Amino acid sequence: MSISDRARAIGERVEAFVRDIVAPYEGDPRRDHHDCPSDELIDELKEQARAAGVLTPHILVDGSHLTQVETAFVLQKTGLSPLGPLACNTGAPDEGNMYLLGHVGSPDIKERFLKPLIEGRARSAFFMTEPAEEGGAGSDPSMMQTTCHLHGNHWVINGRKCFITGAEGAKVGIVMAKAEEGACMFLVDLPDPAIRIEHVPNTIDSSMPGGHATVLIDNLRVPADQMLGQAGEGFRYAQIRLSPARLSHCMRWHGACERANEIATDYANRRHAFGKPLIDHEGVGFMLAENLIDLKQSELMIRWCAEVLDAGDLGTAESSMTKVAVSEALMRIADRCVQVMGGLGVTDKTIVEQVFREIRAFRIYDGPTEVHKWSLAKKIKRDWKAANGH
């Protein structure tokens, strides 16, 4: 499937904006003690994007979304800088949350919670993962310990969550909890005194504002009309969000690795050692050649999965395969870029070092590689049994 004219036009505007306007901010010192961009910096970048007409570019004026194939083209362009998704309002977890609310939210929920996200006036957080030491949900959401029960016309929620990206500073929260009927999702206004941030750990990545908080939910009362859908439908809604959000990560980080490879390529052509440019040393040139191969294979894998989603399929297996293939390929690319640049590659003089850290984290969030392989192996077994009458 070729890229549509509208997506190509949007993507070209986004790329020019990220390269010309956003990239110069990469050395901006306005960061918190976890080295995440401050809200002041993000708000300034969003204003620049709004003025350039590239804020939330994957959602059109009428509220409709670009197709997944079109979104892939645009989000890869936002990813050309680690700050690009923040500036263009296409970053995680907001992009995935906007997708979910846009597809299953009631008119009231869309007006109250989705609209400020699309307009870039609020950040959001998705409260699902729980502390492993308490036996809580991580890659296996069926282990959820956070509970909810109906009390009058409110639901009361109790539990602890961890690695909640963007919880600090978020204005919109999507909270998952377990009722007798099954998993539920709730929309909440943040901050709320019943949701207390206990700790924000320092992590290997630093591109997502607010960090990845551990949170205590203590008798949070949520009006019944702020439940997403019906009680027990939480896992079904999570599946609607899961594959597109997983794929969006691939899109954005593909753009980041494309830029890192550009930086490493420029360095290899300018830097001389042992009598010739580094690019002329086979050990260096071959690494950059392998980067081109991995970039193209990743791009095609993303496009294939996007086409599956555009055809109306949930794409659970396809997004698992894509997440594994792309995250592992991007890790190889980022690692080679560091290696090609030597000492400079491990400094903060370019974004290469940060991209390496971010991709390492990407291999874990939205499902570690091993969990996706295990899920695919289970599918292989199910398919074999079905084909052989077992």
Is 239 found in the same domain as 219? no
Q: Which of 210, 231, 252 corresponds to the end of one domain?
A: 231
pLDDT above 80: residue 112: yes
Is 330 found in the same domain as 293? yes
Is 150 found in the same domain as 32? no
Is 260 found in the same domain as 376? yes
Is 380 found in the same domain as 246? yes
User: What is the average pLDDT score of the chain?
Assistant: 96
Residue range of the domain that includes 84: 5-91
**Predicted pLDDT of residue 390:** 84
**Predicted pLDDT of residue 142:** 86
Q: Whose CA is closest to 186, among 141, 148, 151, 130?
A: 148
Average pLDDT over residues 282-291: 98
CB distance 34 to 211 below 8 Å: yes
- Please check whether residue 153 lies inside any domain of the structure: yes
pLDDT above 80: residue 41: yes
Handedness of CA 201, 202, 204, 208 (dihedral sign): positive
Q: Which of 231, 248, 278 corresponds to the end of one domain?
A: 231
Q: What is the pLDDT of residues 186-213, one digit of tens each?
A: 999 999 999 999 999 999 999 999 999 9
Spatial CB neighbours of 304, under 8 Å, sequence gap ≥ 6: 318, 322
Going by their DSSP bridges, the two strands 154-165 and 195-199 should be labelled as unpaired
- Please check whether residue 287 lies inside any domain of the structure: yes
Is 281 found in the same domain as 225? no
Is 17 found in the same domain as 77? yes
Is 211 found in the same domain as 244? no
Average pLDDT over residues 79-91: 98
Q: Which of 231, 266, 296 corresponds to the end of one domain?
A: 231
The token pair at 126 is: 């998705």
pLDDT above 90: residue 137: no
**Predicted pLDDT of residue 195:** 98
- How far does the chain reach from its first CA to its final CA, in angstroms? 38
Is 141 found in the same domain as 31? no
- Is residue 140 helix, strand or coil? coil
Q: What is the pLDDT of residues 354-369, one digit of tens each?
A: 999 999 999 999 999 9
Is 227 found in the same domain as 132? yes
Is 359 found in the same domain as 245? yes
CB distance 160 to 216 below 8 Å: yes
Q: Give the DSSP per-residue string, 85-99.
A: HHHHT--TTHHHHHH
- Please check whether residue 118 lies inside any domain of the structure: no
Q: Domain count for the chain, please give it.
A: 3
Is 81 found in the same domain as 193? no
Largest Cα–Cα distance of the chain, in whole Å? 79
CATH number for position 190:
2.40.110.10
User: Could you give phi then psi for residue 130, rounded to 5 degrees?
Assistant: -125, 160
Average pLDDT over residues 315-326: 97
Which of 50-59, 115-124, 133-142, 314-323 has the least mean pLDDT? Answer: 133-142
Average pLDDT over residues 321-343: 98
**Residue linked to tokens 């390496």:** 356
User: How many CA within 13 A on the CB side of residue 107?
Assistant: 0
In which band, very low, low, confident or very high, does the pLDDT at 1 lie, cut at 50, 70 and 90?
A: low
**Predicted pLDDT of residue 350:** 98
- Please check whether residue 165 lies inside any domain of the structure: yes
Percent of the chain residues topping a pLDDT of 90: 93
Whole-prediction pTM: 0.96
